[in-house]
Structure 1
């Protein structure tokens, strides 16, 4: 039983035909029409038509960043696309002859990890996607948590520092400002300014004019003391946040995805340490597992397709 998953990103739109085992049968990629929300609909329809050839999909799932309503129909707000109360599902179903659902991109990725990746052996899981910002998904009792209005699980915007750094959401002190790829780069630059263990970071910055996320990632892999110190800072913030999440949600597993998570155990070690240091009733509370996401770049399309298939089966 094939379904199509579409993942709308800031620079590209990925699409795939996915079977019931989470295997990608066929895929496609197109550039995202920058600043042209109306053209995104045309690109998605074109991709679905092309991917449908010879596969007869039962449903289409579309993943996008933003707040999606509980009926998986309307995009309340999308930060990277000029969508405000956009009835995207209705527009697509008027042009596509199969059922459509719209899902938050982090939810779709988290669901894919739960069904086919690192979380496939648990019933309760929390995933954090560490990219430019911090995305998240919550699975509780084998079900994806969306909240009463559909806009829940915005994990990156939990406040961890009262009156802390300003966030793009309008608040201050969100974990996104302390646990994201952007935060890692800021920490690396601060260590470069201080020299000492940040000397190599400073040298790379002087040579290239600025530090990039790729530079910091390469130095982490090379074992540079300054880059690893920045990563430990990041992991400590994430571990503290996870202790708060754990107190409320009690997951069996925390999964970390996104570019920064490619650091693997070097990221997980400080996360575990900070989690245990901040865990309420430590020693008496069961301790969850911590893992790196397995599906990487395919998670969005696989999760969107699977959620669409499940919705079709429930109709």
Structure 2
């Protein structure tokens, strides 16, 4: 059975795996994403290190040597699926990533947006399997998105379709790294969750007392996974913060339903690990704000089957299929 490498590049981590034809991860590794103050070459070095480590692991564990590499990149990937036009959380600006990696690796390279890769994984093997019209929303450092119509990924004329995180939902709202204000990802993402928790803590709100106790009183040490874990254990403030993120998620989904009309919304990314603490409020808000509610079929909102692995699984599948 042939194998392929999938790489998922996010705002905080570069994760990779060697996968078989059924989307199963056979070996895996990860690195921290270099800070965006670093030159593009530093990010490229990290990707190459991950791929080289995977090749060594595959040899050691007796896994068939991968024949292709698929990369899912957190950013605007041009229609040529070669260039990262812009990455808000990385230093890439018109970065010829496929060419750069191709010069250093003796394998065919495929590049796509990370959310496109995640949706393809869910369509091929997971929560959107069998759906002809689906939307993927990835909640991580920011918000990524992807669209499936008629069983095909919709990338747009310039390759940048699905950047839902930068839809404006609050005019004049929070400043976004993309340069605008009030973008959706400023209200429903990992960054938004942490910002709100730290804001409460730095304001000396008694609501943050229990959260601060988990991090020795240091607001800067509050993280999204820690807040989610506190909510799972019944912390009222953590639960409220996740519900607020979920509310804004539902607002955006209702807007997307009006524009795209899919049969299913698949929610992935690291923040989706909160499960119904996040998706419950999202479904409630979606039901209240869906245009024509009560008189039209409503899309379902489901958690991604593969969670944070969806990007690398889909990237591997897209890379292998591109070479067929």
- TM-score, normalised to structure 1, is 0.88
Greater Cα shift, 90-99 or 278-287: 90-99
1:153 CA displacement: 0.6
Q: Deviations over 1:214-263 (max 9, x none)?
A: 44223311223322222222211111111110011111111212232222
**Alpha-carbon separation, structure 1, partners of 2:237 and 2:45:** 46
1:109 CA displacement: 1.9
Work out whether residues 79 and 157 of structure 2, in 8 Å CA contact, stay in contact via their aligned partners in 1. Answer: yes
2:23 equivalent to 1:22? yes
Structure 1 residue aligned with 2:3: 2
Q: CA RMSD in A?
A: 2.5
Q: How many residues align?
A: 311
Of 76, 81, 87 in structure 2, the residue corresponding to residue 78 of structure 1 is 87
Of 70, 87, 105 in structure 2, the residue corresponding to residue 61 of structure 1 is 70
Structure 1 residue aligned with 2:157: 148
Work out whether residues 77 and 83 of structure 2, in 8 Å CA contact, stay in contact via their aligned partners in 1. Answer: yes
**Alpha-carbon separation, structure 1, partners of 2:45 and 2:235:** 46
Q: Deviations over 1:49-102 (max 9, x none)?
A: 554556343321112221111121111123344322222212333343332111
**Alpha-carbon separation, structure 1, partners of 2:144 and 2:314:** 15
2:304 equivalent to 1:297? no
**Alpha-carbon separation, structure 2, partners of 1:200 and 1:65:** 34
Structure 2 residue aligned with 1:255: 266
Uncovered stretches (5+) of structure 1, i.e. residues with no partner: none
**Alpha-carbon separation, structure 1, partners of 2:19 and 2:145:** 23
**Alpha-carbon separation, structure 1, partners of 2:200 and 2:46:** 43
1:45 CA displacement: 4.1
**Alpha-carbon separation, structure 1, partners of 2:46 and 2:141:** 25
2:223 equivalent to 1:216? no
**Alpha-carbon separation, structure 2, partners of 1:209 and 1:61:** 39
2:204 equivalent to 1:204? no
Q: What SS does the aligned partner of 2:247 have?
A: helix
2:166 equivalent to 1:177? no
Distance 1:142 1:257, change over 3 A: same
**Alpha-carbon separation, structure 1, partners of 2:186 and 2:30:** 30
Write out aligned runs for 1:270-285 (5 A): 270-285=281-296
**Alpha-carbon separation, structure 2, partners of 1:40 and 1:189:** 29
Distance 1:151 1:208, change over 3 A: same
**Alpha-carbon separation, structure 2, partners of 1:91 and 1:216:** 38
Work out whether residues 121 and 310 of structure 2, in 8 Å CA contact, stay in contact via their aligned partners in 1. Answer: yes
Distance 1:129 1:32, change over 3 A: closer
Q: What SS does the aligned partner of 1:271 have?
A: helix
**Alpha-carbon separation, structure 2, partners of 1:45 and 1:191:** 40
**Alpha-carbon separation, structure 2, partners of 1:76 and 1:155:** 16
Greater Cα shift, 135-144 or 206-215: 206-215
Distance 1:283 1:156, change over 3 A: same
Distance 1:97 1:227, change over 3 A: closer
- TM-score, normalised to structure 2, is 0.86
1:48 CA displacement: 3.9
Distance 1:242 1:6, change over 3 A: same
Greater Cα shift, 62-71 or 185-194: 185-194
